[in-house]
Structure 1
């Protein structure tokens, strides 16, 4: 089978790496890929948002299965177009992709189907919103309705912070049209956790749990990011909680999809807040989470291609999905300045020094030819050109490790983090620990 993965981040590297373990897959392409993905797949110079280019390549290359990684092409309708071109595709169609592309759409869905979530109101008029500042008290949760690369959420501690966020989103358009509508939510307290689920028309099967760390700094401080690390399974979960999530969230969600005519086939990412009154949904995403995927797929024992194929054919219930009992930790190494402005092109050192059983998933990287000065032999400077891996994004690498215990996996992850470096590199030191608010 020939598989095309669309995307070029850490999530896509993890998917490609896992698919190489399938005896049914003999060729993997990735558009556009990155320096790490190039080690396990053939990278194609087509952007993830170039739907026409991807459809053309998929048809010409006789792709058996396309797997869509990022949210933007899903929201653009890439699944619909690939299926029109006769290419089997893993991922939700454009109608279902609204669950991530519009926070207001998701909140209305949750409300309509009595799925526990925070109270909310939506606004399209900036002045009305400014008059409603503090409607749920403080902290005040302010969300840009549309896609904002995981950064469109502000938790304002004061009125001044709330006004600033509103002006930036709706006035200055820092997130473009994503801020045309704002969703204001009640602030939930508890512990955040993530649950990824395989979903087809008839079945929803949760993967092993993971806990994500969104804030940039230790102790859950600083602005939100796309995710600075994860561990799996989450220590928050137990059998009773999992049963409540199944009864109160998963089953009503699948029933809601069926009632609303949402033919969801792919991965549903559910962001949860586990509070004293039980689990509540913070958000839905339409794809594998990043960096949750890097932890969770390390523990998957079932052939990932078989799962993808079953989901597309609405036969997910026929697959017995098995997981390792080992624990996983993934630590993200990010560029200096992220999630704000950051520089690219910093040479990454130490990739050949990490332990053999440690996975370094590439997120924002690329290969470049650089001239390296070797010294002066008295007759002039000696230099040579060599290929190096450089930073090319905010989140650069994910160091992912398995261990028999959380402590063992965490210790090994950070031992290997210290073997890697690039100018401005930053990471959290508390990944793998429960951060209570």
Structure 2
């Protein structure tokens, strides 16, 4: 088959690499991809993702059998709708269904209507109203969210009223997150163990994956600013299976049924960021695609062939997904300054001699024959093993071999495992 993966980061590298491992004879193209992907036999295609006409023309010319959308922005731009209108097979939610990620207030309205457990909240599009609401609150910390997309950085946990008011002004007046912050959601802070539950969804049919847990804060001990994710692991042994089952029944399925009943039937990956509270699991956020870095640790544990699963879902056929009994852990290497002010591109060390690990590239570029950083998160190093300590030992041993001058990574990924 000819498979086209839309996107260019570590998540898309994981999707494409999984397909190549499942069926080496498949031709996998990634648009725009990144130079690190070519090591795994993935062909990169430089087309602007906003040029949908050119993407459609390429898919037809290349006789693409299936397109898989990785990142959120093309979904919200309606790429799936336009590919479908052109008669092309594509996996991902429509623009209407993807709004569950594109707007925090829309997601909250869906959860409220579907009776899905989540934090209490209010939405505001006027800074004065938001500040007046904060001045009435007695319980802190409190959570402030830019309504739109903010590359995983649009959430601030304010410890005090003064910090909350300052953050609201920076979001809504200074527009530190651009237009995404023109509307904000203010919600109660939930305390508990967080985890990620992703599922393959076909209308009202939900097929959960192995749960994962990522590490959002930049530095060891969950210190520093929020990032797009500094590492992850799967499964999450401290989350009981009964809680996973409960999450599927009380969160994932009701949302799928509600969207289907509203005429925005969901077809794609539904990502739920969840937290275990004293009254059970509640939703922190929804995404309309694979998580990054969760995809890089979950997909290596999937024993079923990814394309076969997606083809069955698109044909509205039931799927039975097989998973490995091993564990998986991944550590992100980032450029110094990430996520606030990323330093200039820096050459990466030679990674060709690493052992017992997989490398998923994200922010990299080629300059002559050398690989340089090209953004904040540069790569993720992942290992599978029979138990987590073995996986951690393998990864940190390999990372220690490398002269990662000008880069940093957390030394404690997986510290919550128990």
Whether these two folds match at TM > 0.5 is yes
Work out the CA distance in 2 between the residues paired with 1:138 and 1:193: 23
Higher mean C-alpha deviation, range 153-162 or range 389-398 = 153-162
Work out the CA distance in 2 between the residues paired with 1:243 and 1:196: 13
SS of alignment partner, residue 280 of structure 1: strand
Query: Structure 1 runs of 4+ off > 6 angstroms?
Result: none
SS of alignment partner, residue 21 of structure 2: coil
Higher mean C-alpha deviation, range 262-271 or range 248-257 = 248-257
Work out the CA distance in 1 between the residues paired with 2:403 and 2:82: 41
Structure 1 residue 95: deviation in Å? 0.3
* Within-5 A mapping of 1:112-261: 112-133=113-134, 135=137, 137-261=139-263
Q: Which residue of 2 aligns with 1:71?
A: 72
* Within-5 A mapping of 1:264-283: 264-283=266-285
Structure 1 residue 21: deviation in Å? 2.1
Q: Which residue of 2 aligns with 1:434?
A: 416
Q: Which residue of 2 aligns with 1:29?
A: 29
Work out the CA distance in 2 between the residues paired with 1:337 and 1:181: 28
Which of 379, 401, 408 is equivalent to 2:383? 401
Structure 1 residue 26: deviation in Å? 2.1
SS of alignment partner, residue 132 of structure 1: helix
* Within-5 A mapping of 1:79-90: 79-90=80-91
User: Does the 8 Å CA contact 1:294/1:400 hold for their aligned counterparts?
Assistant: yes
The TM-score, its normalising length taken from structure 2, stands at 0.96
Deviations 1:139-172 (A, max 9, x none): 1100000001111001111122212211111001
Q: Which residue of 1 aligns with 2:365?
A: 366
User: Does the 8 Å CA contact 2:120/2:188 hold for their aligned counterparts?
Assistant: yes
* Within-5 A mapping of 1:402-417: 402-417=384-399
Structure 1 residue 429: deviation in Å? 1.3
User: Does the 8 Å CA contact 2:19/2:26 hold for their aligned counterparts?
Assistant: no
Deviations 1:291-324 (A, max 9, x none): 0000001111000110111222222x2x220011
CA-based RMSD of the aligned residues comes to: 1.5
Work out the CA distance in 2 between the residues paired with 1:346 and 1:24: 33
Work out the CA distance in 1 between the residues paired with 2:326 and 2:50: 36
SS of alignment partner, residue 95 of structure 1: helix
Work out the CA distance in 1 between the residues paired with 2:180 and 2:231: 25
Q: Is residue 323 from structure 1 mapped to residue 305 from structure 2 by the alignment?
A: no
Distance 1:327 1:15, change over 3 A: same
Distance 1:7 1:88, change over 3 A: same
Work out the CA distance in 2 between the residues paired with 1:125 and 1:222: 29
SS of alignment partner, residue 237 of structure 1: coil
Work out the CA distance in 2 between the residues paired with 1:25 and 1:121: 51
Structure 1 residue 56: deviation in Å? 2.1
Work out the CA distance in 1 between the residues paired with 2:285 and 2:31: 27
User: Does the 8 Å CA contact 2:32/2:46 hold for their aligned counterparts?
Assistant: yes
Higher mean C-alpha deviation, range 94-103 or range 37-46 = 37-46
Higher mean C-alpha deviation, range 283-292 or range 232-241 = 232-241
Work out the CA distance in 2 between the residues paired with 1:236 and 1:275: 14
Structure 1 residue 25: deviation in Å? 5.4
User: Does the 8 Å CA contact 1:271/1:284 hold for their aligned counterparts?
Assistant: yes
User: Does the 8 Å CA contact 1:344/1:390 hold for their aligned counterparts?
Assistant: no
Structure 1 residue runs without a partner (length 5+)? 370-386
User: Does the 8 Å CA contact 2:5/2:12 hold for their aligned counterparts?
Assistant: yes
- Aligned pairs, number: 416
SS of alignment partner, residue 4 of structure 1: strand
Distance 1:168 1:15, change over 3 A: same
Structure 1 residue 422: deviation in Å? 3.6
User: Does the 8 Å CA contact 2:75/2:95 hold for their aligned counterparts?
Assistant: yes
Work out the CA distance in 2 between the residues paired with 1:272 and 1:310: 27
The TM-score, its normalising length taken from structure 1, stands at 0.92
Distance 1:150 1:25, change over 3 A: farther
Work out the CA distance in 2 between the residues paired with 1:348 and 1:24: 28
User: Does the 8 Å CA contact 2:203/2:257 hold for their aligned counterparts?
Assistant: no
Q: Which residue of 2 aligns with 1:392?
A: 374
Higher CA-based Rg: 1
Structure 1 residue 24: deviation in Å? 8.1
Higher mean C-alpha deviation, range 156-165 or range 174-183 = 156-165
Deviations 1:184-227 (A, max 9, x none): 01100001100110000141011001001111111111111101
Higher mean C-alpha deviation, range 426-435 or range 358-367 = 426-435
Q: Is residue 52 from structure 1 mapped to residue 34 from structure 2 by the alignment?
A: no
Distance 1:136 1:101, change over 3 A: farther
Structure 2 residue runs without a partner (length 5+)? none
Work out the CA distance in 2 between the residues paired with 1:188 and 1:102: 20
